[in-house]
A and B are shown apart, each in its own frame.
Chain A
Amino acid sequence: MRWLARLRHGLRTLRSARRADQDLTDELQFHLDAQRDLYEAQGLSREDAATRARRDFGSPDVMAEHCRDTRHWRVWSDALRDVRSGWRAALRAPGTTLAAVATLALGIGSATAMFSVVDAVLLRPLPFATPHRLIRADQSVAAAALDVYRGEARAFTDVGLLQPQVEVNVGALAEPERLRAAVASDGVLPILGITPSVGRGFTADDLDAASTPVVLLTHHLWAQRFERRDVIGQTLRVDGIGRQIIGILPPEGLAPLTDVDLVLPAVTRGLPPAALWGSNYFQLLARLGDEVTVAAATADLRRLAPIVRDSYPWRMPDVFGAEIVAVPLLESLVGDVRQRLLVLGLAVALVLLSACANVAALVVSRAIVREREFAVRTAIGASRRRLVQQLLTETLALWCCGGVLGLGVASLALSGLQAWLPADVPRLASLSLESRALATCLGVTLVTGLGFGLLPARRMSRTDLVPFLKANDGGVATTAGRHLVIKGLVVAQLASAVVLVSGSVLLTRSLWNLTQVPPGFDAEDVLSAVLTPDQAVCADEARCESFYAQVRERLEALPQVSAVGFANGVPIDGPPNLFAIDVEGHPVPPGAPAFTASRLVVTPAYFEAIDQPVRRGRGFSAADGERTAPVILVNEAFARTFWPGQDPIGKRLRYVWQPTWRTVVGVVGDVRQAGLAEEAPLAFYLPYGQDRPRDLTVYIESSQPWPQLARELRQVVRAAHPEVPVSRVRPLRGLVDASLAGTTALLSLLSLFGGVVLLLGAIGTYGVLAGNVSARRRELGIRLALGAPARSVRQLVLLEAVRLCVVALAIGIPAAWWAAQRAEHLLFGTSSQDVLAQFTVLVVMTVAALLAAIVPASRAARVDPLRAVRDV
């Protein structure tokens, strides 16, 4: 029970420290009185007795101090007392305290939020079984190659094929729906360690084209569409084929690998060779065997490359698959985003540093005011440790307030980041503030609080006593050390601002350069939508053609529609669809890889609809069809590459697997394909009669507002055939903007941080200069009294500001240069050596410093010489 008594005693002491002290004083006084009475009884006079008693006892104050020292709760009661006195001091200057807490909250909150993002996206392991043993190959493989890998590979326990996202029609509903599906072989679910919650996964038999078509549902699709549990065995129409439902996946599904509504089996047997080896390509997933390293996996894949190559039913280039690499699954998922996130992380770290430096400078300047108090306390015997303890406790209390508020800022910042980061950042949906984030917040608070608080505390406690005990205040000399600390902190802030501003300027230039890139077409007033008729609609090619012809005629009949074109792809939105071709007159040695170019099948009005110019020859016409001569259009890049300086009209090329030569009848302009930053690929175009892909994108040029146009489009399509889904309806303008989204998001965030840090740095500079002016008041007063013009006094202050700026630039510009070099692939049309950018940064920083110096400078010029010289 002893600990209970101790606890009670401790709490009592903590709660009413003043009462406990009073009790102690009373107790010691009682002793003194009793001793005095004793001496009085022995014959001394009252005063003599009292004096003797006092002398025997010693100083009651020192005794009381010793008694207090014995308490183990001393540390806590001292800390509590320090916090209370700090709270009172804070209340006396509420504005500064509020600013300090807000600044800390901003810094700690954004650091916590950023850490949550980095943790969720980059650090947290994937939710699969032993995720670090999973790899994905960086090149796609043909469907039929699965059996080769399964039979011959030595480094893996199992191998699977996956197409993470395709779109399928799911039918028999009021509105035909377009859903996302994954296509997977039987090994994929076991590799990931996922078992269906109901039913079974795929088996090797399901991969044969001849067996019953099956499908796996994801949990949310089942919850949406079906009420009963026993959906196993029911049929679902997918792309016109009835498929038997054999299982339901658990609620997480295949996340974060892909987010789909259903899973179809990959077909690796039973189709003609062209389909198995030529047109169906998959990602290769595998689980490493025991003690197999990733390097060994890569070596094994490369060893198998010639075997796979020789299994092809036609000749493949000798170097086929020689560069294949096995990449750990997490890295293959988030590798692209890593650099962007790290840049953001650096920016946030600078914001945190800046915020802490700002508040630390504040603490030091407030402590300077109390120097005299500390000097006196040291003189009567306070230990240095006690003073450091007090300062540190007050600072930590301030930091903890900032940290608690920072949690609120963090949750705001987190939702902001989730909205702001482009949607292609993987695993973004799983962001939340949870225990790891809270622990980080606490850790960051304590570490920065101790780090930034210890420095001023130690400097303050090493006060030189003598100048303070003199009547004179001491002047500049003794406080110079303190000022140096503050100056250092302000310079650190300004240097951080330099780095961030420099990054913002470079990104702004990149963004500007990107917007200046001509995409090759005119996206104004064009609406695009994807039409995906399935087998029911397009039982044969003639029916498909007539469906599209109907749609085209009806759309052209709509008012305000100037052109309607079709194509089997979309510009800007993704990597080009490459096809292997033979170009007449450019033979390829056997075994070498064939030429590739991007292919698009278009209707004649396509070029008019998106305003892609025809530079030479002619475009397509309605006459170009199945029965006329095979014709082709190439783009300028193609013509430049293969026939520089010659007339491309009349030249011929063909698909590698078809003997038909096609003649070039015209040259069209280049169109960017994989985003604005990448050069336009070599491209050739076929007319829609001579190749008939089933899914086409329609482009409608019209001056009508697009929501209304979209409605009319759906009506038209439904009238032509009710079961054809219309998906991805959007204005073409949106595609161009979307390709800039990543850079824009990064730029806005970086500018926001840069602005905040610059503001903090400017405030810090103002503080330093103002402090400087008030410390040098006497000197300035003397100068003015001796006849110096006000202008020269102002110049003194401005020069000080410029000096701070120069030091900050000297530190910041090399740091910014280093950071820009690391992040070079985020920039476009500019680099770390961009002179204009550096110059801009210089100008911005100097202007900021001078602005911060205006008020102190004018205040310096207005110093009253008489008062300054007289006052001490």
Chain B
Amino acid sequence: MSGLFGIFNVGTRGLITQQTAINVTSHNVANGSTEGYSKQRATIQTTTPYGSPSMNSGVPVGQLGTGSEVSVVQRVRDEFLDYKIRKETSISSQYDARNEVLSEAENVFNETSETGISTSLGKFWSAWQDLATTGNDNAKTTVLENTSILANALNQGYDKLQDIKSNTQASIKNMVFEINSKLNEVDNLNKQIISVKVAGLEPNDLMDKRDNLLDTLSSKFNITIDKKQFYGLDVKPGDVPSGLTTPNLVAAAPNDVVSRFSYINGEIKATTASDGTVTIPLSYYEKGDTASANTQKTINIKFNIGSGYSSLTTEQKKSVDDIIQSKVREIDENRVLWADKDGLALAGADGATIDLGSVDFSGGFSSGVTSLNSTMSDLNSKLKMFTPSSGSLKGYMSSQTDVDNYINQLDSLAKTLAFAVNAVHSGMTDVTNSSGTPDKDYMPFFVNSDVAKYKVDGTMSNLDDILAAEDNINAGNISINKEIYADKSKMKIKTHDDDYKYAADNNVDGKDTARALAIAQIKDKKINIQDISNTINSRKDLFNAGTSSFSDVNDMYLTNTSKGLTIDTYFKDTVDKVGSQVQEAKKIVEGQSTVLNQLNESKEAVSGVSLDEEMANLIQYQHAFSANAKIISTTDELLDVVINGLKK
């Protein structure tokens, strides 16, 4: 049986309930534009009614209500949408990163402009044509200037691509650092959330914050989330190398071991000792933290290919080398290591050596390669690289492969140009010809600028080194021979220049320019460019059986090869490829952003704050509050009657 005081209490409860509801509403309005905020709702329920049948009391008119209370303040959120958004964010960020890197690379190949490599190439050939027609000194100067413009264009393209690659690696490094600190934040929030929940409260805002961080993390790489009790979470990457016992990056259980990532820095190179021991030293920054020298640790990879290796053919040795190089390249492009919570690589302690045993080639080449391949995959499982399948980390890693390919294609172009022009310029299919006259190419047109040295008078001082380094010409170091640049009369443009060490020795040809014409015609010759760096690694290889050759006695005019490409076509193919890849990335980014927009829209529809709705609620609560106050004041009046009115 409730009395007036009971009503008084109902009113008071009502006031408090409405006040709480208004509080929640004001919190919602205040966070109307907060990123990642989910609208909260105060769930109002009736308090336990008064009077239940028992031994000593009846229930006269049924149970009487005792008012309302806010049972819980809950955020409104659809967690399935979160899952989908994170998945799509990973893919979208991956292509965003690719688009970012490749668009930058595309600028190097900006070939619709008048200043691109293909324009320089066109001017280079035209200059040779001009020289063939006029034969005068001005035309020679034009050739030399255009050559140096072309070489510079290639050098710059190469440098830019290398820059892009190292910038990308710097991005990976920063990202590793960011991921690790984000993981720590998630870990902290995880702990707070659990303790709040254990205390029986709803950690709404903390969970919003955690979800926000997880969204950010999912843009870096694809994550998997396991829900544990008390709103605790286990977070791990979607891709975990087999055999890894501690894949969790964040663990709900306080004593579980978690992992972090570390970043491999510096140049990665495999060196082979004379006994066939291959070592790949790796130095890494713990958790990507470059701030202090203490965080730099090393780990070494070692294996032996000594036995039977020396009896392999040159080609077989090369393919063995290629397998090792491709592994090195893989590490170079990835650079992220699994590490323990302090950043020490899971593969071993500081300075540890991962010994992969030895590969035996004595049983034949193919069995050796099989064993080498299995050694390489063994390396994968032992080194424990982090290889996400999506996210911007993946985007940066994969776009490096493409940038490397672009660099290789520029290199092939530079090599072909150097080999072919040098061959026609000298009339020699190899840099040396011990039995012939002259015995070597005394005046190569293109040289390797890393090696070429010149005396004070402008002549080459280390011709033999320069010739030996011709095989290593690439887009980064191709350069015109400065000796020719300084003295244009040293250009070999006459028919019989192939019979003399220097053009000046030729007393046969007078003002002939036939060789210049032959060089100009390389433009339309089909050359096996696609085999460069494969079977063709030197000028000599270019003229091996089945490849290019000279069609005339004076060693001037190149023949077409049956499956070759012209230099121009090859470059166009490269541009086509770059363009297509950027286009693909752009299209996927566009498509993904549509998908993401729709998902975000749905999320907003569920969790977003609608001001109109809040206002309506506010009015409702306000009126309810007033009404409750009215109840109290009415009860007050009733009490006044009872207290002051009944006995005067």
Q: Do A and B come from one complex?
A: no
Residues of chain A whose beta carbon lies under 8 Å from any beta carbon of chain B: none
Residues of chain B whose beta carbon lies under 8 Å from any beta carbon of chain A: none
